[in-house]
Amino acid sequence: MELFSFLLLGIYFFILGILAIFGLHRYYLTYLYYKYKDQGPKDVPAFEALPRVPFVTIQLPIYNEKYVVERLVQKVCAIEYPSDRLEIQLLDDSTDETQEIARAVVREFQSKGHPLVYIHRQNRKGFKAGALDEGLQVAKGELIAVFDADFLPQADFLTRMVPFFFARKKYGMIQARWGHLNQDYSLMTQAQSILLDGHFVIEHTARNRSGRFFNFNGTAGIWDRKCIEAAGGWHYDTLTPSCGVGSSSTYPKWWCPPSCRWT
């Protein structure tokens, strides 16, 4: 019985130690946030001042999203960007009636002059990463933006984000902050919004502006295509490119080719 009590105490203090380390880590991130929050990029030109307008491919990977696919396409087609420098790929891996809905909405917006293409795979090899990779093989863009089915980008998304790729520092990826449609719907959505805000506002800002690496969250971001290709493409085990040594949701510096660094 005494041995059992010591075992329980050992487990308790072990878990307590892990939680203490996690808490100290969060406190440190908060410290970094307040220290570096005003040290954002200072040399990002206005969109109107860009020396050229880069070609952008927007990839929309979906799977059985019959309730939101039309809304997604409507919002993405409302993004303000020169249509001759834009391509939108609807990458549909659906196995249900989403296929018919998606094809219909693509035809509708194509008839209105939007540069929208529909790509449907017969297999789901690699799942989302596989769909992105297959779309990349025929993509025309030098910059690749990604949105999941439940995202509603603002009309000025590209005109606000693209100029970062013309800053003096070279960026391989730009991650946008996520917002919330139903933040006040329930206690669960409120709690989730707090956690997401902490991740995007505190953690991402602290890591990036203090010279540390942060992860691409799989959506609502833009990649320099050269970075993805230099890193070996989309790895099927994760939603980030593999650098040939392994895969990770974040990039250790020593794994990545120079074109893949965004410090």
> Per-residue pLDDT for the chain (263 aa), expressed as one digit of tens each?
688 888 999 999 999 999 999 999 999 999 999 999 888 888 899 999 999 999 999 999 999 999 999 999 999 999 999 999 999 999 999 999 999 999 999 999 999 999 999 999 988 888 999 999 999 999 999 999 999 999 999 999 999 999 999 998 888 899 998 888 888 899 999 998 998 888 899 999 999 888 888 888 889 999 999 999 988 888 777 654 433 333 333 333 333 333 333 32
Residue 154 domain-assigned (yes or no): yes
Indicate whether 7 belongs to any domain: no
Range of the domain at 112: 55-178+217-260
pTM of the model: 0.83
DSSP character at residue 51:
S
**Size of the chain, expressed as the number of residues it contains:** 263
Alpha-carbon gap, residue 88 to 91, rounded angstroms: 9
Task: Evaluate whether residue 187 is within a structural domain.
Answer: no
Residue 125 falls within a domain, yes or no?
yes
Q: End-to-end CA distance of the chain: give it in Å, rounded.
A: 55
Residue 95 within any structural domain of the chain: yes
Number of domains in the chain: 1
Phi then psi for residue 104, to 5 deg, are -65, -45
For 11, the token pair is 């487990």
Burial class (CB in 10 A: 0-12, 13-18, 19+), 107: exposed
Residue 121 is part of a domain; what is its CATH number? Answer: 3.90.550.10
Which structure tokens are listed for 154? 């603002």
18 occurs within a structural domain: no
121: Cβ contacts below 8 Å, ≥ 6 apart: 91, 92, 93, 130, 131, 134
Question: Positive or negative CA dihedral for 130, 132, 135, 140?
Answer: negative
- State which amino acid sits at residue 168: R
35 domain residue, yes or no: no
Task: Output the pLDDT for position 241.
Answer: 43
Note the pLDDT of residue 1.
Answer: 66
| Crossing angle (nearest 10°) for helices 98-111 and 69-77 | 20
Q: What is the pLDDT of residue 164?
A: 93
Residue 152 belongs to some domain of the structure: yes
